[in-house]
Amino acid sequence: MNAQIIAVSNQKGGVGKTTTCINLGIGLAKAGKKVLLVDADPQASLTIGLGNPQPDRLPVTLTDLLKKILTDEPILPREGTMQHPEGVDLMPADIQLSGMEVSLVNAMSRETILRQYLNTVKYHYSHILIDCQPSLGMLTVNAIAAADRVLIPVQAEYLPAKGLEQLLSTVGKARRQINPGLKIDGILLTMVDTRTNFAKEISALLRDTYGSRIRVFDTEIPHSVRTKESSAEGKSIYAHDPGGKVAEAYQNLTKEVLKIEKQRAKGKAGISR
């Protein structure tokens, strides 16, 4: 097994990155996939959202493993990964990860430190999802450099949509300089208030503006207070509100992501014949 690595990224905060990481990850696990979720954000929202309210007390986090890569220390198989009851593994983060930004700036091959860590675990998983921090700092550049694919959650509002250009330019640069195989899976509209015309207009605007260059997922994630409740409980939306509209939306997103994968694999097989 050689994992597909997906970076869930947008330099704007509060657009549903962590929620998407949790629910797409657990959706893939429910579809029979072996999934590792990596928290690459010092705020540790993913770690907290998966039921670890005090990340700074965890014995091993991503910070420790990146330090080992920087100092050439060996890493034990799956060292520090935690099991979540809903069938995914987690590589947690804590606030010390913010110090890694500084360390990485002066490191040799600084953009590939996270990739070097993921190379030690990727054969145990079919999918690795990275929850990126809301900035385009060294940790996010590391995630984009390590990824096969980028998924971009965007809140269905005008200003967050404008910030897309900066991220797309970073992805383009990463593709040219360090990760030529990088693909964009698509833009995911989140927190969509389906009752308002405004949300529909933004959705249409995004599809018009970017649709010819980048896939905009058919699935839109509706706005719901249930999403926040599930994170507070350390569970996915499937466990918290299985019959709800958000759970259904993430189930549909999981199907779309797997379909994209299948189409790409078919395309590759066609090329190699």
Tokens (6 digits) for 93: 């983060």
d(CA 51, CA 73): 30
Comparing C-alpha atoms, which of 261, 250, 260 is closest to residue 220? 250
What is the tens place of the pLDDT at every residue in 4-50? 999 999 888 888 899 999 999 999 999 999 999 999 999 999 999 99
Q: Is 236 within 8 Å of 24 (Cβ atoms)?
A: no
**Burial status of residue 208 (CB atoms within 10 A of its CB: 0-12, 13-18, 19 or more):** exposed
Q: Whole-number mean pLDDT of the chain?
A: 91
d(CA 61, CA 58): 7
Q: What percent of the chain has pLDDT over 70?
A: 96
Tally Cβ neighbours within 10 Å of residue 216. 20
In the sheet where 127-132 sits, what is the strand order?
82-83, 89-91, 35-40, 127-132, 4-8, 149-155, 183-192, 216-222
Residues in the chain: 273
Tokens (6 digits) for 181: 């195989």
H-state helical runs in the chain: 17-30, 45-49, 62-70, 97-105, 113-118, 138-146, 158-162, 164-177, 197-210, 225-232, 237-240, 245-272
- Predicted confidence at residue 78, as pLDDT, reads 87
Q: Is 146 within 8 Å of 115 (Cβ atoms)?
A: yes
In sequence order, the 6+-apart residues with CB closer than 8 A to the CB of 198 are none
DSSP 223: P
| Chain position carrying tokens 């466990």 | 239
**Burial status of residue 18 (CB atoms within 10 A of its CB: 0-12, 13-18, 19 or more):** buried
The torsion defined by the Cα of 104, 105, 109 and 111, in degrees rounded to 10, comes to: 80
Query: Is pLDDT at 63 greater than 70 in this prediction?
Result: yes
In CATH, 4-272 is 3.40.50.300: yes
- Predicted confidence at residue 158, as pLDDT, reads 65
Tell me how far the alpha carbon of residue 142 is from its chain's centroid.
Answer: 13
- Predicted confidence at residue 272, as pLDDT, reads 47
d(CA 262, CA 252): 15
What is the tens place of the pLDDT at every residue in 225-258? 898 889 889 999 999 999 999 999 999 999 999 9
**What ranges do the domains of the chain cover?**
4-272
What's the sign of the alpha-carbon dihedral 64, 11, 8, 86?
Answer: positive
d(CA 162, CA 155): 11
d(CA 115, CA 119): 6
What is the tens place of the pLDDT at every residue in 131-165? 999 988 899 999 999 999 999 999 877 655 667 88
